[in-house]
Chain A
Amino acid sequence: MKKYMQGLKEACLTTFIAILLLGPIISLVLDGFEIHMIAQRTLVLAVVIFFGKLIFVLFKVHPIAGG
Protein backbone atom coordinates (compact mmCIF):
# COMPACT_ATOMS: atom_id res chain seq x y z
CA MET A 1 0.00 0.00 0.00
CA LYS A 2 2.87 2.33 0.92
CA LYS A 3 4.40 1.82 -2.55
CA TYR A 4 1.11 2.76 -4.23
CA MET A 5 0.77 5.91 -2.12
CA GLN A 6 4.34 6.78 -3.06
CA GLY A 7 3.38 6.33 -6.74
CA LEU A 8 0.40 8.64 -6.28
CA LYS A 9 2.62 11.24 -4.65
CA GLU A 10 5.15 10.99 -7.51
CA ALA A 11 2.38 11.38 -10.09
CA CYS A 12 1.07 14.51 -8.33
CA LEU A 13 4.55 16.04 -8.15
CA THR A 14 5.26 15.30 -11.83
CA THR A 15 1.93 16.85 -12.83
CA PHE A 16 2.66 19.96 -10.80
CA ILE A 17 6.11 20.37 -12.41
CA ALA A 18 4.68 19.72 -15.88
CA ILE A 19 2.02 22.41 -15.42
CA LEU A 20 4.64 24.86 -14.17
CA LEU A 21 6.99 24.00 -17.01
CA LEU A 22 4.69 23.57 -19.99
CA GLY A 23 1.58 25.41 -18.83
CA PRO A 24 2.53 28.98 -19.79
CA ILE A 25 3.53 28.07 -23.36
CA ILE A 26 0.69 25.61 -23.92
CA SER A 27 -2.21 27.56 -22.49
CA LEU A 28 -1.27 31.23 -22.98
CA VAL A 29 -1.23 31.66 -26.76
CA LEU A 30 0.25 34.90 -28.09
CA ASP A 31 -1.80 36.95 -30.53
CA GLY A 32 -0.02 40.19 -31.31
CA PHE A 33 0.61 41.95 -28.01
CA GLU A 34 -2.23 40.03 -26.34
CA ILE A 35 -2.70 36.50 -25.05
CA HIS A 36 -5.56 34.05 -25.36
CA MET A 37 -5.97 31.59 -22.55
CA ILE A 38 -6.83 28.04 -23.60
CA ALA A 39 -7.41 26.34 -20.25
CA GLN A 40 -8.50 23.00 -21.77
CA ARG A 41 -4.96 22.40 -22.98
CA THR A 42 -3.61 22.63 -19.42
CA LEU A 43 -6.33 20.29 -18.24
CA VAL A 44 -5.51 17.73 -20.95
CA LEU A 45 -1.81 18.07 -20.15
CA ALA A 46 -2.44 17.53 -16.43
CA VAL A 47 -4.63 14.46 -17.04
CA VAL A 48 -2.20 12.86 -19.51
CA ILE A 49 0.86 13.49 -17.33
CA PHE A 50 -0.85 12.41 -14.10
CA PHE A 51 -2.28 9.12 -15.40
CA GLY A 52 0.79 8.42 -17.56
CA LYS A 53 3.14 8.77 -14.62
CA LEU A 54 0.78 6.91 -12.28
CA ILE A 55 0.49 3.93 -14.65
CA PHE A 56 4.26 3.94 -15.15
CA VAL A 57 5.02 4.01 -11.40
CA LEU A 58 2.35 1.43 -10.56
CA PHE A 59 3.69 -0.87 -13.25
CA LYS A 60 7.19 -0.50 -11.81
CA VAL A 61 6.08 -1.51 -8.29
CA HIS A 62 3.72 -4.28 -9.50
CA PRO A 63 4.89 -7.90 -9.04
CA ILE A 64 4.62 -8.44 -12.85
CA ALA A 65 7.53 -6.03 -13.32
CA GLY A 66 9.38 -7.57 -10.40
CA GLY A 67 8.53 -4.71 -8.01
Chain B
Amino acid sequence: MFDWNYLAQQLINGLTLGSIYGLIAIGYSLVYGIIGMINFAHGDVYMISAYLTAIALAICSLFGIHSVIASLFITMFFAMSITGLYGWAIERIAYRPLRHSTRLAPLISAIGMSIVLEEFVRISQGARNQAVPMLIKGQWHIDSLTLISTIQMMIIAATIISVFFLSIIINKTSIGRAMRATQQDLLMAEILGISANKIIPLVFVIGSVMAAIAGCLVSLNYGSFNYAIGFIIGIKAFTSAVLGGIGSLPGAMLGGLLLGMAESLYTGFFESDYKDVFAFSLLILVLILKPSGLLGTADVEKV
Protein backbone atom coordinates (compact mmCIF):
# COMPACT_ATOMS: atom_id res chain seq x y z
CA MET B 1 0.00 0.00 0.00
CA PHE B 2 1.29 3.44 -0.94
CA ASP B 3 2.38 5.56 2.03
CA TRP B 4 0.91 9.04 1.45
CA ASN B 5 2.39 10.39 4.69
CA TYR B 6 5.85 9.46 3.50
CA LEU B 7 5.20 11.24 0.19
CA ALA B 8 4.04 14.36 2.05
CA GLN B 9 7.17 14.25 4.23
CA GLN B 10 9.42 13.99 1.18
CA LEU B 11 7.57 16.88 -0.47
CA ILE B 12 8.16 19.06 2.61
CA ASN B 13 11.85 18.13 2.62
CA GLY B 14 12.00 18.83 -1.12
CA LEU B 15 10.30 22.20 -0.69
CA THR B 16 12.90 23.19 1.92
CA LEU B 17 15.83 22.03 -0.20
CA GLY B 18 14.30 23.61 -3.31
CA SER B 19 13.87 26.94 -1.52
CA ILE B 20 17.60 26.96 -0.75
CA TYR B 21 18.51 26.07 -4.35
CA GLY B 22 16.13 28.76 -5.56
CA LEU B 23 17.62 31.47 -3.33
CA ILE B 24 21.13 30.72 -4.58
CA ALA B 25 19.95 30.29 -8.18
CA ILE B 26 18.52 33.82 -8.10
CA GLY B 27 22.10 35.13 -7.72
CA TYR B 28 23.24 33.23 -10.82
CA SER B 29 20.21 34.34 -12.79
CA LEU B 30 20.50 38.02 -11.80
CA VAL B 31 24.17 38.22 -12.81
CA TYR B 32 23.60 36.29 -16.03
CA GLY B 33 20.60 38.48 -16.86
CA ILE B 34 22.63 41.68 -16.54
CA ILE B 35 26.09 40.83 -17.89
CA GLY B 36 25.47 37.52 -19.67
CA MET B 37 28.11 35.69 -17.64
CA ILE B 38 28.10 33.09 -14.91
CA ASN B 39 29.45 34.05 -11.51
CA PHE B 40 31.30 30.87 -10.60
CA ALA B 41 32.31 32.28 -7.21
CA HIS B 42 28.67 32.48 -6.12
CA GLY B 43 28.71 29.07 -4.40
CA ASP B 44 31.72 30.17 -2.36
CA VAL B 45 29.90 33.29 -1.25
CA TYR B 46 27.27 30.93 0.18
CA MET B 47 30.02 28.96 1.94
CA ILE B 48 31.47 32.15 3.45
CA SER B 49 28.04 33.12 4.75
CA ALA B 50 27.88 29.79 6.62
CA TYR B 51 31.21 30.61 8.31
CA LEU B 52 30.07 34.15 9.10
CA THR B 53 26.91 32.69 10.67
CA ALA B 54 28.95 30.46 12.98
CA ILE B 55 31.29 33.34 13.86
CA ALA B 56 28.40 35.72 14.59
CA LEU B 57 26.67 33.13 16.78
CA ALA B 58 29.91 32.58 18.71
CA ILE B 59 30.29 36.36 19.16
CA CYS B 60 26.69 36.60 20.43
CA SER B 61 27.40 33.83 22.92
CA LEU B 62 30.64 35.57 23.97
CA PHE B 63 28.75 38.79 24.72
CA GLY B 64 26.06 36.94 26.65
CA ILE B 65 23.28 37.37 24.09
CA HIS B 66 21.21 34.25 24.68
CA SER B 67 17.91 35.35 23.16
CA VAL B 68 17.31 33.23 20.05
CA ILE B 69 15.55 36.03 18.15
CA ALA B 70 18.25 38.60 18.95
CA SER B 71 21.06 36.16 18.04
CA LEU B 72 19.32 35.25 14.81
CA PHE B 73 18.75 38.89 13.88
CA ILE B 74 22.36 39.89 14.62
CA THR B 75 23.71 36.80 12.83
CA MET B 76 21.66 37.37 9.69
CA PHE B 77 22.49 41.06 9.58
CA PHE B 78 26.22 40.32 10.06
CA ALA B 79 26.26 37.54 7.43
CA MET B 80 24.19 39.49 4.90
CA SER B 81 26.22 42.71 5.16
CA ILE B 82 29.67 41.11 4.94
CA THR B 83 28.56 38.70 2.22
CA GLY B 84 27.10 41.59 0.27
CA LEU B 85 30.51 43.22 0.48
CA TYR B 86 32.03 40.02 -0.90
CA GLY B 87 29.66 40.26 -3.88
CA TRP B 88 30.77 43.84 -4.49
CA ALA B 89 34.46 42.85 -4.19
CA ILE B 90 34.05 39.92 -6.63
CA GLU B 91 32.59 42.26 -9.24
CA ARG B 92 35.26 44.89 -8.60
CA ILE B 93 38.20 42.46 -8.77
CA ALA B 94 37.15 39.66 -11.12
CA TYR B 95 34.63 41.22 -13.50
CA ARG B 96 34.98 45.00 -13.90
CA PRO B 97 38.58 45.08 -15.18
CA LEU B 98 37.61 42.44 -17.79
CA ARG B 99 34.23 43.86 -18.80
CA HIS B 100 35.32 44.75 -22.32
CA SER B 101 37.60 41.76 -22.93
CA THR B 102 36.69 38.40 -24.47
CA ARG B 103 33.81 36.40 -22.96
CA LEU B 104 36.15 33.72 -21.65
CA ALA B 105 38.38 36.02 -19.59
CA PRO B 106 35.84 36.91 -16.83
CA LEU B 107 34.77 33.26 -16.74
CA ILE B 108 38.32 32.18 -15.95
CA SER B 109 38.80 34.99 -13.44
CA ALA B 110 35.54 33.97 -11.70
CA ILE B 111 36.78 30.37 -11.44
CA GLY B 112 40.05 31.75 -10.06
CA MET B 113 38.14 33.86 -7.56
CA SER B 114 36.20 30.77 -6.48
CA ILE B 115 39.43 28.87 -5.82
CA VAL B 116 40.93 31.87 -3.98
CA LEU B 117 37.90 32.15 -1.67
CA GLU B 118 37.82 28.42 -0.96
CA GLU B 119 41.54 28.25 -0.16
CA PHE B 120 41.43 31.47 1.84
CA VAL B 121 38.77 29.96 4.11
CA ARG B 122 40.55 26.58 4.28
CA ILE B 123 43.85 28.19 5.33
CA SER B 124 42.23 30.64 7.77
CA GLN B 125 39.71 28.33 9.42
CA GLY B 126 41.13 24.86 8.78
CA ALA B 127 39.82 22.02 6.65
CA ARG B 128 37.83 20.29 9.40
CA ASN B 129 34.04 20.32 9.63
CA GLN B 130 32.63 23.21 11.64
CA ALA B 131 29.53 23.12 13.79
CA VAL B 132 26.72 25.56 14.52
CA PRO B 133 24.56 25.17 17.64
CA MET B 134 21.02 24.00 16.90
CA LEU B 135 19.48 27.32 17.84
CA ILE B 136 15.99 26.70 16.54
CA LYS B 137 14.35 23.58 17.85
CA GLY B 138 10.84 22.22 17.69
CA GLN B 139 8.66 20.59 15.08
CA TRP B 140 5.05 20.71 14.03
CA HIS B 141 2.76 17.81 13.21
CA ILE B 142 0.84 18.25 9.97
CA ASP B 143 -0.84 14.93 10.64
CA SER B 144 0.09 11.96 12.81
CA LEU B 145 3.13 10.95 10.75
CA THR B 146 4.13 14.05 8.78
CA LEU B 147 6.40 16.58 10.45
CA ILE B 148 7.78 19.98 9.59
CA SER B 149 10.51 21.41 11.78
CA THR B 150 10.50 25.07 12.83
CA ILE B 151 13.71 25.75 10.91
CA GLN B 152 12.20 24.19 7.76
CA MET B 153 9.23 26.52 8.15
CA MET B 154 11.62 29.41 8.63
CA ILE B 155 13.53 28.50 5.45
CA ILE B 156 10.31 28.43 3.42
CA ALA B 157 9.04 31.67 5.00
CA ALA B 158 12.40 33.44 4.53
CA THR B 159 12.45 32.37 0.88
CA ILE B 160 8.94 33.70 0.26
CA ILE B 161 9.72 37.01 2.01
CA SER B 162 13.07 37.44 0.19
CA VAL B 163 11.59 36.71 -3.22
CA PHE B 164 8.67 39.06 -2.47
CA PHE B 165 11.01 41.94 -1.55
CA LEU B 166 13.28 41.21 -4.50
CA SER B 167 10.36 41.30 -6.91
CA ILE B 168 9.25 44.64 -5.39
CA ILE B 169 12.78 46.04 -5.81
CA ILE B 170 12.95 44.87 -9.42
CA ASN B 171 9.43 45.77 -10.52
CA LYS B 172 8.51 48.84 -8.47
CA THR B 173 11.64 50.88 -7.78
CA SER B 174 13.81 53.12 -9.94
CA ILE B 175 16.84 50.91 -9.20
CA GLY B 176 14.86 47.91 -10.43
CA ARG B 177 13.90 49.82 -13.58
CA ALA B 178 17.57 50.60 -14.18
CA MET B 179 18.41 46.92 -13.64
CA ARG B 180 15.78 45.83 -16.14
CA ALA B 181 16.99 48.40 -18.65
CA THR B 182 20.59 47.20 -18.23
CA GLN B 183 19.40 43.63 -18.71
CA GLN B 184 17.67 44.52 -21.99
CA ASP B 185 20.48 46.57 -23.49
CA LEU B 186 23.59 47.57 -21.54
CA LEU B 187 24.89 50.04 -24.11
CA MET B 188 21.55 51.78 -24.59
CA ALA B 189 21.03 51.96 -20.82
CA GLU B 190 24.42 53.67 -20.48
CA ILE B 191 23.55 56.13 -23.25
CA LEU B 192 20.35 56.97 -21.38
CA GLY B 193 22.32 57.83 -18.24
CA ILE B 194 22.20 54.59 -16.26
CA SER B 195 25.57 53.93 -14.69
CA ALA B 196 26.62 50.33 -15.33
CA ASN B 197 29.30 50.78 -12.66
CA LYS B 198 26.54 51.23 -10.09
CA ILE B 199 23.97 48.73 -11.35
CA ILE B 200 26.26 45.73 -12.00
CA PRO B 201 27.88 45.75 -8.50
CA LEU B 202 24.40 46.17 -7.01
CA VAL B 203 23.25 43.02 -8.79
CA PHE B 204 26.24 41.13 -7.37
CA VAL B 205 25.43 42.47 -3.89
CA ILE B 206 21.75 41.44 -4.13
CA GLY B 207 22.72 37.95 -5.36
CA SER B 208 25.23 37.58 -2.53
CA VAL B 209 22.70 38.70 0.08
CA MET B 210 20.30 36.03 -1.21
CA ALA B 211 23.08 33.44 -0.92
CA ALA B 212 23.81 34.71 2.61
CA ILE B 213 20.19 34.13 3.66
CA ALA B 214 20.44 30.60 2.27
CA GLY B 215 23.83 29.93 3.89
CA CYS B 216 22.69 31.22 7.26
CA LEU B 217 19.51 29.13 7.32
CA VAL B 218 21.12 25.97 5.93
CA SER B 219 23.91 26.01 8.51
CA LEU B 220 21.29 26.45 11.24
CA ASN B 221 19.29 23.57 9.76
CA TYR B 222 22.07 21.03 9.25
CA GLY B 223 24.40 22.26 12.01
CA SER B 224 27.57 21.37 10.12
CA PHE B 225 29.55 22.71 7.19
CA ASN B 226 33.06 22.95 5.77
CA TYR B 227 35.05 25.01 3.28
CA ALA B 228 34.02 22.82 0.31
CA ILE B 229 30.22 23.08 0.59
CA GLY B 230 30.05 25.93 -1.90
CA PHE B 231 31.08 23.84 -4.89
CA ILE B 232 28.35 21.20 -5.01
CA ILE B 233 25.52 23.52 -3.93
CA GLY B 234 26.78 26.09 -6.43
CA ILE B 235 26.55 23.50 -9.21
CA LYS B 236 23.06 22.48 -8.04
CA ALA B 237 21.88 26.09 -7.90
CA PHE B 238 23.37 26.75 -11.33
CA THR B 239 21.48 23.69 -12.57
CA SER B 240 18.29 25.12 -11.05
CA ALA B 241 18.87 28.43 -12.82
CA VAL B 242 19.42 26.67 -16.16
CA LEU B 243 16.45 24.36 -15.59
CA GLY B 244 14.11 27.30 -14.95
CA GLY B 245 15.60 29.40 -17.75
CA ILE B 246 18.72 31.36 -16.87
CA GLY B 247 18.12 35.08 -16.63
CA SER B 248 14.56 34.62 -15.38
CA LEU B 249 13.95 35.10 -11.64
CA PRO B 250 10.68 33.14 -11.42
CA GLY B 251 12.47 30.52 -13.52
CA ALA B 252 15.34 30.31 -11.01
CA MET B 253 12.91 29.80 -8.16
CA LEU B 254 10.86 27.25 -10.12
CA GLY B 255 14.00 25.39 -11.18
CA GLY B 256 15.21 25.30 -7.57
CA LEU B 257 11.91 23.98 -6.28
CA LEU B 258 11.69 21.34 -9.02
CA LEU B 259 15.25 20.18 -8.46
CA GLY B 260 14.79 20.07 -4.68
CA MET B 261 11.55 18.10 -4.98
CA ALA B 262 13.00 15.71 -7.57
CA GLU B 263 16.06 15.04 -5.42
CA SER B 264 14.04 14.56 -2.28
CA LEU B 265 11.48 12.24 -3.91
CA TYR B 266 14.19 10.20 -5.60
CA THR B 267 16.11 9.87 -2.32
CA GLY B 268 12.95 8.90 -0.46
CA PHE B 269 11.60 6.33 -2.90
CA PHE B 270 14.71 5.00 -4.63
CA GLU B 271 18.37 5.40 -3.75
CA SER B 272 20.16 8.37 -2.25
CA ASP B 273 23.43 7.42 -3.99
CA TYR B 274 21.99 8.25 -7.40
CA LYS B 275 20.08 11.41 -6.50
CA ASP B 276 22.59 13.64 -8.32
CA VAL B 277 22.45 11.38 -11.39
CA PHE B 278 18.68 11.72 -11.38
CA ALA B 279 18.79 15.52 -10.88
CA PHE B 280 21.23 16.09 -13.73
CA SER B 281 19.38 13.60 -15.99
CA LEU B 282 16.27 15.67 -15.40
CA LEU B 283 18.20 18.77 -16.44
CA ILE B 284 19.41 17.08 -19.64
CA LEU B 285 15.89 15.95 -20.47
CA VAL B 286 14.42 19.42 -19.97
CA LEU B 287 17.18 21.04 -22.01
CA ILE B 288 16.67 18.59 -24.89
CA LEU B 289 12.94 19.34 -24.95
CA LYS B 290 13.23 23.07 -24.15
CA PRO B 291 16.79 24.38 -24.57
CA SER B 292 16.01 27.81 -23.07
CA GLY B 293 14.75 26.26 -19.83
CA LEU B 294 11.22 26.11 -18.44
CA LEU B 295 10.53 29.85 -18.23
CA GLY B 296 13.40 31.16 -20.36
CA THR B 297 12.85 32.86 -23.69
CA ALA B 298 14.95 31.92 -26.68
CA ASP B 299 17.14 34.72 -28.05
CA VAL B 300 15.92 35.98 -31.39
CA GLU B 301 18.73 37.27 -33.56
CA LYS B 302 17.64 39.97 -36.00
CA VAL B 303 19.38 39.93 -39.35
Contact = CB atoms under 8 A, between A and B. Distances in A.
Contact of A33 (B51, B86, B89, B133): B133
Contacts of B54: 30
Contact of A21 (B55, B89, B125, B131): B89
A41 B120 CA distance: 13
Contact of A25 (B62, B121, B131): B121
A30 B55 contact: yes
B93 to A, nearest CB: 11
Contacts of A26: 124
Chain B contact residues, majority secondary structure: helix
A67 to B, nearest CB: 18
A17 interface: yes
A25 B89 contact: no
A24 B81 CA distance: 12
Contacts of B126: 29
A10 B62 CA distance: 35
Interface string B225-268: 00000000000000000000000000000000000000000000
B272 interface: no
A35 interface: yes
B55 A28 contact: yes
B89 A17 contact: yes
Contacts of B59: 28, 35
Given A25-B120, A29-B124, A35 B55 contact: yes
B125 A35 contact: no
B211 to A, nearest CB: 15
B225 to A, nearest CB: 10
Contact of A24 (B55, B61, B132): B55
Interface of B: 48, 51-52, 54-55, 57-59, 61-62, 82, 85-86, 89, 120-121, 124-126, 130-133
Interface of A: 17, 20-22, 24-26, 28-30, 32-35, 41
CB-CB nearest 3 A-B residue pairs: A35-B58, A28-B55, A26-B124
Given A25-B124, A35-B59, 15 more contacts: A20-B85, A21-B86, A24-B82, A25-B51, A25-B52, A25-B55, A25-B121, A25-B125, A28-B58, A28-B59, A30-B55, A30-B125, A33-B57, A34-B61, A41-B124
